[in-house]
Amino acid sequence: MASNPFSDTVDGNAFGAALLDPERPAPAGLVGPDGKHAPKRFNVYRNNVIVSLRDALADSFPAIKTLLGEDYFNALARAFVLAHPPTSPVLIWYGGKFPDFVEAFPPLAAYPYLADVARVEWAWLQAYHAADAKPLDPAELGALPPDAIGGACFAKHPAAWVLSSDWPVWDLLRVNRFEPGTDIVIDLATPQSVLVSRPELDVELMMLRPGADVFLQALFNGETLGEAAFHAQQHSADFSLSDSLSDCLSNGVFEQLIVNQTD
């Protein structure tokens, strides 16, 4: 939380509680530089803190801000800030609960796709700040004996995320964040799944092929290549193992190949 710029005589817990609750009066004992009680000064400071947190959310969720409009987004962000004050001084990590908050916000019930758009934006932020790691060299998989490939497992790259959605999240993000002005017809009846990765310096997003989200989630959960392919094929008859695996390797989704040893 923000430091107390007024007086060391004010209880820190009371100061913090009042800082993000506009209904609370200025804490008792709070004085300004002139030694006088300073409720107006505190209110200005409280507003600045809320605005800073609101702006941090706007930086993390620009597509949501575009979709809702600035005024509505500011009101929504303020409601979130008051309900979920930060627990860390590092603002880049503030907002992890925002997608769930959007999903549960009653006035937005008619726009159920917003929460998944926010989840992809949060995954983008996680990927951007993820630890550096060298992606798996596809040649390592190619060097395996054919009878060992199906039993191979993979360690996920720290910057790789998969998000499955019942909504056209990729198209919504293209129009409202990554490719503004693009002439795309958005069909809300079209589900889309998105891969978020950072194979080199920049975060990249791509829409996944049919069944590839199930395939990747299974691999991320520690299943073997053969098991993951089976689940994906059961989920989608259009699943292509070769194409989906090629997408994964070319986008740096894995960090390490794990070969199960058998006697």
Q: Which H or E run contains 152?
A: strand 152-156
Residue 170 has a pLDDT of: 97
Give the contacts of 215 (CB within 8 A, at least 6 positions apart). Answer: 228, 229, 231, 232, 239, 241, 244
pTM for this model (two decimals): 0.86
Give which of 156, 145, 163 is closest to 223, Cα–Cα: 156
Q: Measuring CA to CA, how many Å separate 141 from each of 71, 191, 203, 259?
A: 51, 31, 24, 9
pLDDT tens-place string over residues 121-139: 999 999 999 999 999 999 9
What was the pLDDT predicted at 92?
Answer: 86
pLDDT tens by residue, the chain, 263 residues: 445 454 455 555 656 566 666 666 666 556 666 655 445 556 555 667 888 999 999 999 999 999 999 999 999 999 999 999 888 888 888 999 999 999 999 999 999 999 999 999 999 999 999 999 999 999 999 999 999 999 999 999 999 999 999 999 999 999 999 999 888 999 999 999 999 999 988 999 999 999 999 999 999 999 999 999 999 999 999 999 999 999 999 999 999 999 876 54
Please tell me the predicted confidence (pLDDT) of residue 104.
98
Q: How much is the pLDDT for 32?
A: 61
In this structure, which amino acid lies at residue 36? Answer: K
Q: What is the pLDDT of residue 223?
A: 97
Q: Are 253 and 197 contacting, i.e. CB atoms less than 8 angstroms apart?
A: yes
- Cβ neighbours of residue 32 closer than 8 Å, sequence gap 6 or more: 6, 38, 41
